């Protein structure tokens, strides 16, 4: 413990020290003060009006005005998107505008756009109706001409009686004359022309047949082009129809059915000459409407372009103002003193900057009364704030995804910067694949400014955010690949010749029985001669399995050591004596001893069976080890370690709950008639482990919690050690899968003389390597490394039940807008 006490403090591994502060601001300078604090972005305000609804707060009207302006800006965004206009994200600097003028300007723009949209919709509807009328005239005219050519003379007389021209004034336009034709009341055969959606055509005809009891004749013709529906505005296929009927009652039924099915009816004269005259008139009006619509569209696009050039600046300004008023609504308004009182958290180092910002706000507002700023004693736990950059931010996000650290708790992200990519590389070790990952990471880093200003997809955004994590994973993958001596599963003599050679000329390089060691071991990594030998798989299995256990025991010990530093930092001596010490004894008496045996066996080249040693350490501690003995005094050491492990379990379980109960009784014994607040002051002077209120202390609950924690650690020591074997399993799977792709795809295709087969084999090999090994395998290794950190490592010391420091900052608003 004295050695640990002489170590330098771990301040850089803990969250920033926070201060609970209070601000008392005059009303006239409150807005500017909050604005300056938003620019600074280092103060998190506490909501002092939680009991009030949003409509009962002081600045609710101003917040509503900002919300209304936000709605108008969203309306502008929708209009710009609908018009498919490209606007610059960051326009040139324009003269500043205050909120009142901006509100008026946004209202004017909205009114103008609504008027233009309304006029455009009316003109477009008229255009669509005229276009439908033109199609009906052309198609229905052909249908009527065809029917007349087959009609008898009595029918012709009846038709002439339906549309007599005596009642038509020569001064009317042709469209009005056509409308008057439909109103003529005759008793003979009549017809109605119109247009309907092709999807409703069959149902429409069936309904007409039933309504008229078959006393009608239905004729149709396709429109021949997509028509804009006047009601829905969609481009749909339509059909021109002509219904022949007799009688006024049938006409009423048919018109009602047309209205129900959304069919549009148009008056069509029988005279072909009049039809052509109306078509020419409709065509002329269509050309006029088209020119008017084009001019209106250009004017609307110009107005939207002018709005779009300033939209980002206006939106940011409105968001800032709304954020300011939302923050002001969190403050308590003192009516008598005409001031606002606010409380919040800030990093201790930021107090001088906050004071300076408040002082500037008072000077710029010419306020006669300054803003009062002072620190308070806090009851609740402070938020957690780690200063990160673009390199460490991704690792901090990995840790925060498990849980945000408590205030001043040791931060696992500092160690995860190295351990996370290294454990990934142990499973992904291949320096060829590592180079591919490295190239991808370097591309993301080289283009980070361009990519950071673009809107990316979900997968690309995740890869870009973790570009530095991918960089370190690639570097460590290259390192582990050099250790394994694998380049797309192919070994290379990078660091010199092999330490083995053939005994005679009949020796085959594919078998290790004829190889003898003739020089010092291969200087770095696995000897290339192991590749392809009959003992390759047993050798690599043994190497990677033992390496996984050693790495796992080392990382779990690191987690327990961090729990000691946490307890020491918070002055919790009980956790050091009755949690850290027995945990270290139990873990290292069993599994630390196993890691020691592995290292000794590697050093002296012994043939001892470590499975036998560990099993009979429990079954027969006093038995003879025989050929499995690795060093002198091993049996006595095993008995001692086994006894220490057995003692460590009750050491973890029993002392701490009973000591807490004793401290609780001593603290409150005879304190019934103390002055108010005395006991609370005494409680605050005790260590953290003993800060339990008398009324809240429940011995059974504390004992059960400690028992669960102890059992979890004992069982977890076994399961967590076994969990690290995933490093061996995934590394072996990656290596074997890479070997299969190389031998069964690339080498097999290269054995043919055909260039086509070789090209196909090369393409399949590249596809398998890119999508299976580089994407799926890397994702699998990433998730397993994540599990090892979250459960096996962080579970030893990390609580993760804090909450993030979320300051009031305009910079965060700009990032959200991007």
Residue 406 has pLDDT above 50, yes or no: yes
Who wins on pLDDT, 278 or 818?
A: 278
pLDDT-derived band at 137, boundaries 50, 70, 90: confident
Residue 424 has pLDDT above 90, yes or no: yes
Who wins on pLDDT, 705 or 87?
A: 705
- Give the single-character DSSP code of 221: E
pLDDT at 597: 92
Please name which of 321, 328, 322, 318 lies closest in space to residue 29, comparing C-alpha atoms. 328
pLDDT at 532: 75
Average pLDDT over residues 547-576: 93
pLDDT at 688: 43
Contact of 32 with 365, CB cutoff 8 Å: yes
Average pLDDT over residues 62-72: 91
pLDDT tens by residue, 493-545? 888 888 777 766 555 544 455 567 777 888 888 888 888 777 788 888 889 99
Residue 818 has pLDDT above 60, yes or no: no
Beta bridge partners of 218: 243
Residue 468 has pLDDT above 80, yes or no: yes
Angle formed by the axes of helices 778-787 and 726-741, nearest 10°: 180
What lies within 8 Å, CB to CB, of 226 at 6+ separation is 235, 236, 237
Cα(34)–Cα(32) distance, integer angstroms = 5
Q: What percent of the chain has pLDDT over 70?
A: 86
pLDDT tens by residue, 587-607? 999 999 999 999 999 888 888
Residue 163 has pLDDT above 60, yes or no: no
Q: What is the DSSP string of 355-376?
A: HHHHHHHHHHTT-SSPPEEEEE
Question: Which of 67-81, 232-246, 452-466 has maximum average pLDDT?
Answer: 67-81
Residue 164 has pLDDT above 60, yes or no: no
pLDDT at 504: 62
Looking at 4-8, 212-216, 490-494, which range is the least confident one? 4-8
Distance of CA 712 to the CA centre of its chain: 33
Contact of 518 with 500, CB cutoff 8 Å: yes
**What's the angle, vertex CA 259, arms to CA 255 and CA 263, rounded to 5?**
95
pLDDT at 627: 84
pLDDT at 228: 73
Average pLDDT over residues 560-585: 93
End-to-end Cα, the chain, rounded Å: 51
Contact of 266 with 132, CB cutoff 8 Å: yes
Please name which of 171, 189, 188, 162 lies closest in space to residue 269, comparing C-alpha atoms. 162
Residue 416 has pLDDT above 70, yes or no: yes
Q: What is the CA radius of gyration of the chain?
A: 42
SS3 46: strand
Query: Which segments of 572-633 does DSSP mark as H helices, in order?
Result: 573-575, 581-587, 593-604, 610-619
pLDDT-derived band at 42, boundaries 50, 70, 90: very high
pLDDT-derived band at 150, boundaries 50, 70, 90: low
pLDDT at 651: 94
pLDDT tens by residue, 639-693? 999 999 999 999 999 999 999 998 888 877 655 444 444 333 344 434 444 344 4
Please name which of 585, 501, 602 lies closest in space to residue 545, comparing C-alpha atoms. 602
**What's the angle, vertex CA 303, arms to CA 299 and CA 309, rounded to 5?**
140
Residue 50 has pLDDT above 80, yes or no: yes
Phi, psi of 320 (to 5 degrees): -65, -45
pLDDT-derived band at 223, boundaries 50, 70, 90: confident
């Amino acid at each position: 413990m004295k050695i640990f006490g002489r170590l330098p403090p771990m301040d850089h591994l803990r969250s920033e020290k926070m201060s609970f502060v209070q601000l008392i601001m005059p009303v006239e300078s409150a807005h500017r003060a909050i604005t300056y604090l938003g620019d600074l972005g280092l103060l998190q305000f506490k909501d002092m009006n939680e009991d009030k609804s949003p409509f009962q707060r002081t600045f609710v009207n101003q917040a509503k005005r900002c919300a209304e302006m936000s709605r108008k800006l969203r309306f502008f965004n929708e209009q710009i998107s609908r018009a498919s206009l490209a606007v610059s994200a960051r326009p040139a600097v324009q003269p500043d505008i205050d909120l009142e003028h901006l509100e008026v300007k946004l209202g004017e723009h909205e009114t103008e756009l609504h008027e233009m949209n309304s006029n455009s919709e009316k003109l477009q509807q008229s255009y669509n109706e005229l276009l439908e009328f033109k199609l009906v005239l052309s198609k229905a005219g052909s249908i009527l001409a065809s029917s007349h050519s087959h009609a008898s003379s009595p029918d012709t007389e009846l038709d002439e009686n339906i549309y007599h021209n005596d009642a038509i004034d020569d001064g009317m336009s042709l469209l009005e004359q056509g409308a008057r034709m439909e109103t003529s009341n005759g008793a003979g055969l009549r017809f109605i022309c119109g247009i309907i959606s092709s999807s409703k055509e069959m149902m429409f005809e069936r309904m007409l047949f039933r309504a008229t009891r078959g006393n009608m004749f239905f004729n149709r013709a396709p429109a021949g082009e997509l028509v804009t529906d006047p009601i829905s505005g969609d481009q749909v296929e339509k059909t021109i129809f002509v219904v022949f009927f007799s009688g006024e009652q049938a006409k009423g039924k048919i018109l009602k059915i047309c209205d129900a099915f959304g069919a549009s009816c148009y008056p069509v004269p029988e005279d072909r000459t009049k039809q052509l005259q109306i078509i020419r008139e409709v065509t002329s009006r269509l050309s006029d409407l088209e020119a008017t619509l084009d001019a209106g569209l250009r004017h609307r696009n110009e107005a939207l372009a002018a709005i779009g050039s300033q939209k980002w600046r206006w939106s940011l300004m409105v968001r800032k103002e709304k954020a300011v008023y939302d923050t002001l609504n969190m403050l308590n308004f003192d009516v008598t003193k005409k001031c606002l009182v606010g409380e919040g958290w800030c990093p201790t180092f930021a107090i001088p900057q906050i004071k300076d910002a408040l002082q500037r706000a008072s000077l710029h507002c010419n306020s006669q009364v300054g803003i009062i700023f002072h620190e308070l004693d806090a009851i609740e736990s402070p938020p957690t704030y780690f200063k990160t950059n673009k390199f460490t931010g991704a690792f901090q996000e990995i840790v925060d995804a498990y849980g945000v650290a408590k205030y001043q708790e040791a931060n696992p992200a500092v160690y995860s910067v190295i351990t996370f990519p290294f454990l990934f590389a142990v499973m992904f070790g291949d320096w060829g694949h590592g180079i591919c990952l490295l190239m991808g990471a370097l591309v993301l880093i080289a283009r980070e400014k361009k990519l950071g200003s673009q809107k990316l997809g979900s997968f690309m955004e995740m890869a870009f955010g973790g570009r530095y994590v991918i960089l370190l994973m690639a570097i460590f993958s290259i390192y582990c690949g050099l250790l394994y001596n694998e380049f797309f599963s192919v070994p290379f003599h990078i660091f010199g010749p092999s330490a083995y050679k053939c005994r005679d000329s009949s020796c085959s390089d594919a078998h290790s029985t004829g190889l003898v060691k003739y020089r010092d071991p291969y200087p770095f990594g696995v000897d290339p001669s192991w590749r392809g030998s009959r003992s390759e798989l047993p050798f690599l299995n043994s190497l990677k399995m033992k390496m996984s256990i050693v790495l796992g025991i080392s990382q779990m010990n690191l987690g327990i050591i961090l729990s000691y530093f946490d307890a020491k930092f918070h002055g919790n001596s009980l956790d050091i004596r009755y949690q850290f010490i027995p945990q270290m004894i139990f873990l290292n008496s069993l599994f630390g001893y196993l890691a020691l045996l592995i290292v000794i066996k590697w050093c002296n080249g012994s043939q001892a069976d470590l499975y036998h040693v560990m099993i009979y350490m429990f079954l027969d501690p006093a038995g003879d080890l025989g050929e499995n003995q690795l060093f002198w005094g091993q049996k006595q050491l095993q008995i001692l370690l086994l006894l220490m492990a057995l003692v460590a379990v009750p050491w973890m379980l029993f002392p701490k709950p009973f000591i807490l109960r004793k401290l609780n009784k001593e603290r409150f014994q005879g304190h019934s008639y103390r002055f108010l607040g005395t006991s609370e002051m005494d409680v605050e002077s005790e260590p953290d482990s003993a800060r339990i209120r008398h009324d809240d202390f429940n011995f059974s609950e504390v004992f059960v919690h400690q028992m669960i924690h102890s059992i979890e650690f004992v069982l977890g020591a076994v399961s967590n050690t076994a969990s690290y074997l995933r490093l061996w399993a995934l590394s072996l799977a990656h290596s074997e899968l890479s070997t299969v792709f190389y031998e069964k795809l690339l080498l097999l295709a290269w054995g043919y003389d055909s260039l086509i087969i070789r090209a196909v084999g090369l393409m399949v090999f590249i596809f398998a390597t890119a999508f299976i090994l580089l994407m799926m395998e890397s994702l699998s290794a990433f998730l397993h490394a994540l599990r090892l950190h979250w459960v096996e490592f962080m579970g030893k010391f990390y609580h993760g039940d804090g909450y993030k420091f979320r300051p009031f900052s305009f910079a965060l608003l700009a990032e959200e807008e991007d």
